[in-house]
Amino acid sequence: MCGIAGIYNPEGLFIDKHIIGRMSWSIRHRGPDAEGYHFDSHAHMASRRLSIIDLNQGAQPIYSRDKKHVIVYNGEIYNYREVKKKLLKKGFHFTTDTDTEVILAAFLAWGEDSLSFLRGMFAFCIWNYETRELFLARDRLGIKPLYYALQKDGTFIFASEVKALLLYPGIKRELYPKAINNLLTFGFNTAPFTFFNGIKQVLPGHFLNVSKKGLVETEYWDIDLDSHEIKDPPEEIAIRLREEISRSVKSRLIADVPIAAYLSGGIDSSIITGMYSGFANKIKTISINFDHAGYDESEYSREVSRAFKTEHVEFKCEIEDDRINDLVYYMEDPLLTLLNLPLFLLSEKASQNGFKVVLSGDGADEIFGGYDYFRLLKVMRFIRNDESAFRKNLLRRIFPKLKNFISTEIQYLFLKGYSDMYPALPYKYMEFPFKYEMYSGEYLSMLSKLDFDSPFFFDLEKISRRSFIDQALYIEIKMRLLNLTLPLADKMSMANSVELRTPFLDHDLVNFAFRIPDKYKIRGLNEKYILKKSMQGFLPERICKRKKQPLQPPGRWFINAHYDLIRDYLSDAAVRSKGYFNPDFIQNALCKYNNEMKIDYSGVVIVAFFIHLWDEIFLRNKVGLYSEPEPADFQEMLGGLVP
């Protein structure tokens, strides 16, 4: 399943069937690989399906036997056959072998409690014809997206993609006023908000009840922070962790289509590749190379491929000007970086090689402490309490670019100024350095009249009793994972009709990780220590020891490769017309981005370019957002399904 959409109006007002049809058509429409269009004119719900399980009988919506309930669903439930056995014992009958039908039956059997039985990624809606109520749920960690808008007249619209909601006449194409500032402050906009005014996302681990009484949102799951810390020696913890990862990988191999694995040569993707190879014969792995980046990971991915005897596909990271629109169109948000580019190209390559499902190592950094700023948190304890040169110089272990005493001292003073903020420090530290210089006077004036969004939709008090590392990991999962890592993974893969599965984000594995003492997650300044230890003797030795390398093309290369396009979008006239940025500062960045200077302006150019491109696509509709078939085409396209 690759997308859902729906409209609910408590007054029973007439809803044009073409609107819901066009909404659903925009959902995950990916050309010939996106199979099957399904429509329910009574519940005003629709789905567009990428068939993974039960290819012949998986059409949606699926109805209960008494026709009183109907479901549309996006995702995969990896334990649906185990849940199905429980339901068969309770007297339920099934006409398909789909997880969709199992979710509906589970809801009829256990109501809201049915969510506790489901292991996987999902966003679904169940409509009750008798009570006229909608029930919507999103998976525990937010792997699958689910957006909604509530209109003043009570009309509730939901979909797996924002662009589907924009087709509804009552929703205006407007920028959420704080979105750009959130992006440049935290590195992403923050949930539950989106870049679009009036459109929100359902929070992970939450469900919604929608009825004539209104909308009620309820949390049904959170990371278990009350569980006891594991007291076993690290050797035993490592063995248990390896078993947990193996179990999670095995459960995600359920499919009636071939499965590939992304392989960068880093420890996370190497673990998934190695585990997968133990459950299958010849597997295929896919890597992307950045030969223009000053570093080359291909030797590492090839080493892992040889170790596990995979059929390996490599290709270079490059894209034509006329396809850059896709990076924003499918992402639906502008980004600070180019992380969307390699992920988009990887899924395209997977699709070209005949794969609809791919395994990835996403999530390991967030649950085991794989980023540099987790090490920074440990150093902060020294910075707060001791100003010795030795302790300041620990910063050089984290920031290799600090070449001398002066640069180290500046970094130290900067961090000390924010030392009271940690464990939320990473998000302040990662604030875009040129943010206020970039803003136009108009945008700054608008911001000054608004309250800032709190990035924390969760209760910080309940994590205060945990260690600083665990607090930071919790915040990381609730913020970066939700607002950046997972949307990138899902949207860039589904853009090419590929379903991405993330074994590290099994909720039981996440809870297990939070029981591991943080001294084993980051030992000294060695990040992901326990994860690396668990793979000793399984992965090639130097894969476990190598330093993390982000999967990201260099900014200067991208600008040089697409300079004319970027210059057009960031012309003085364009910058003044949109009003977000200071045109003089942007022109200065365009002139200096490629200079070998201490100040790197390439980030300024890239984020401004993507924000302008987003504006053109979604607010001004100049890049074909509404290029779906005309309403008159739907009767023929649906084969008479719409009465």
pLDDT digits (tens, 9 = 90+) for 184-211: 988 899 999 999 999 999 999 999 999 8
**Rounded CA gap, 25 and 3, in Å?**
9
Residue 288 has pLDDT above 50, yes or no: yes
Q: Is the separation of the CB atoms in 277 and 308 below 8 Å?
A: yes
Helix (H) or strand (E) holding 167: none
Are 195 and 245 in a shared domain?
A: no
Cα torsion through 318, 324, 330, 333, rounded to 10: 110
* Same domain, yes or no: 187 and 269: no
Q: Are residues 135 and 150 in the same domain?
A: yes
Examine the pLDDT at 637 and tell me if it is beyond 50: no
User: Do 172 and 305 belong together in one domain?
Assistant: no
Residue 429 is given by DSSP the state H
Could you report the per-residue pLDDT of 530-541, keeping only the tens digit for each?
Answer: 999 999 999 999
Chain CA centroid to CA 68, Å = 34
Residues 365 and 480 in one domain: yes
Total structural domains within the chain: 3
Question: How far, in Å, CA of 80 to CA of 102, rounded?
Answer: 6
Q: Which of 143, 292, 149, 307 is nearest to 215 (CA)?
A: 149
Residue 630 in any domain: the answer is no
For residue 144, give the amino acid letter.
K
pTM: 0.89
Give the residue carrying structure tokens 């072998």.
Answer: 97
By CB atoms closer than 10 A (0-12, 13-18, 19+), residue 639 is exposed
What's the pLDDT band for 212 if we cut at 50, 70, 90?
Answer: confident
For the CA atoms of 407, 412, 413, 418, the dihedral, rounded to the nearest 10 degrees, stands at: 140
Sheet strand arrangement including 133-138: 62-63, 69-77, 120-128, 133-138, 206-211, 214-219
The H or E element containing residue 273 is helix 267-277
> 193 near 148, Cβ under 8 Å?
no
pLDDT at 422: 55
> Does 449 lie in the same domain as 533?
yes
Give the HSE-up count for residue 584: Cα atoms under 13 Å, Cβ half-sphere: 3
- Together in a domain, 102 and 232: no
User: E strands along 338-488, which residues?
Assistant: 357-359
Higher pLDDT, 464 or 560: 560
Say if 486 falls within a structural domain.
Answer: yes
Amino acid symbol at 42: H
Q: Are strands 156-159 and 4-8 parallel, antiparallel or unpaired?
A: antiparallel
- 632 lies in some domain: no
Q: How confident is the model at residue 629 (pLDDT cuts 50, 70, 90)?
A: very low
Instruction: Say if residue 26's pLDDT is above 90.
Output: no
- Measured in whole angstroms, the distance separating CA 537 from the mean position of its chain's CA atoms is 32
Q: Is 166 exposed, middle or buried (0-12, 13-18, 19+ CB in 10 A)?
A: buried
List residues with catalytic annotation: 2
Angle of CA points 28, 33, 34, to nearest 5°: 30
Strands 357-359, 499-501: pairing kind: parallel
**Highest mean pLDDT pick, 54-63, 81-90, 629-638:** 81-90
User: For residue 634, is it within any domain?
Assistant: no
Q: How far apart are CA 158 and CA 71, in angstroms?
A: 13
Q: How far is 584 from 607, CA to CA, in rounded Å?
A: 16
- Has residue 290 been placed in a domain? yes
Domain boundary among 510, 525, 553: 553
Say if residues 568 and 574 touch (Cβ distance below 8 Å): yes
**Peptide bond connecting 423 to the previous residue in cis, omega within 30 degrees of 0:** yes
- Return the structure tokens found at 635: 């009767």
Residue 624 inside a domain? The answer is no
**What is the pLDDT averaged over residues 473-498?**
94
What's the half-sphere exposure (Cβ side, CA atoms, 13 Å) at 343?
30
H/E stretch holding 319: none
139 near 99, Cβ under 8 Å?
no
- Supply the pLDDT for residue 38: 45
443: closest CA among 621, 618, 585? 585
- If asked whether residues 165 and 228 sit together in one domain, one would say no
Q: Which domain holds residue 568?
A: 555-619
Q: What is the CATH number of the domain that holds 90?
A: 3.60.20.10
Residue 61, preceding bond cis, omega within 30 degrees? yes
Kindly state whether residues 173 and 240 are assigned to the same domain.
no
CATH code of the domain in which 372 resides? 3.40.50.620
Give strand pairing partners of 215: 210
| 402 and 505 belong to one structural domain | yes
The DSSP element (H or E) to which 404 belongs, if any, is none
Cα separation, 123 vs 175, whole angstroms: 25
For residue 506, give Cα distances in angstroms to 118, 136, 246, 269.
Answer: 11, 21, 11, 15
Task: Look at the chain and count its residues.
Answer: 643
Contact 71, 103 (CB under 8 A): yes
Which long-range contacts (C-beta less than 8 Å, at least 24 apart) are formed by 460-469? 462/225, 463/225, 465/225, 466/225, 467/518, 468/377, 468/381, 468/422, 468/423, 468/518, 469/369, 469/374, 469/377, 469/378, 469/423, 469/518, 469/521, 469/522
Residue 17's pLDDT is 52
The set of residues, in sequence order, having a beta carbon less than 8 Å from that of 115 and lying 6+ positions away, is 137, 207, 220, 221
Range 295-316 average pLDDT? 91
Q: Confirm whether 626 is domain-assigned.
A: no
pLDDT mean over 373-394? 66
Q: Are strands 120-128 and 69-77 parallel, antiparallel or unpaired?
A: antiparallel
**Do 638 and 28 form a contact (C-beta atoms < 8 A)?**
no
Across-strand partners of 191?
Answer: none
pLDDT at 119: 97
- State the pLDDT at residue 547: 75
Torsion, Cα 316 319 325 327, to 10 degrees, reads 10
Question: In the numeric block, which tokens belong to residue 472?
Answer: 């930071």
Task: Report yes or no: 494 and 45 within 8 Å, Cβ to Cβ.
Answer: no
| Residues 229 and 168 reside in one and the same domain | no
pLDDT digits (tens, 9 = 90+) for 151-181: 888 889 999 999 989 988 889 999 999 999 9
Least confident window among 304-308, 460-464, 595-599: 595-599
Cα separation, 593 vs 391, whole angstroms: 34
What pLDDT, on a 0 to 100 scale, did the predictor assign at position 347? 97
Which of these three, 221, 239, 268, is where a domain ends? 221
DSSP assignment of 281-302: SS-EEEEEE-TTTT---HHHHH
Residues 245 and 202 in one domain: no
Q: Which of 290-299, 359-368, 607-616 has the lowest mean pLDDT?
A: 290-299
pLDDT for 43:
47
What tokens does 121 get?
Answer: 């990624």
- Which of 26-35, 62-71, 375-384, 506-515 holds the top average pLDDT? 506-515
Domain boundary among 202, 221, 240: 221
**pLDDT per position as a tens digit, 506-518:** 999 999 999 999 8
Q: What is the DSSP letter of 202?
A: P
Q: How far is C-alpha 314 from the geometric centre of its chain's CA atoms?
A: 24
DSSP classification of residue 75: E
Asked if the structure places residue 638 within a domain, the reply is no
Which of helix, strand or coil describes residue 164? helix
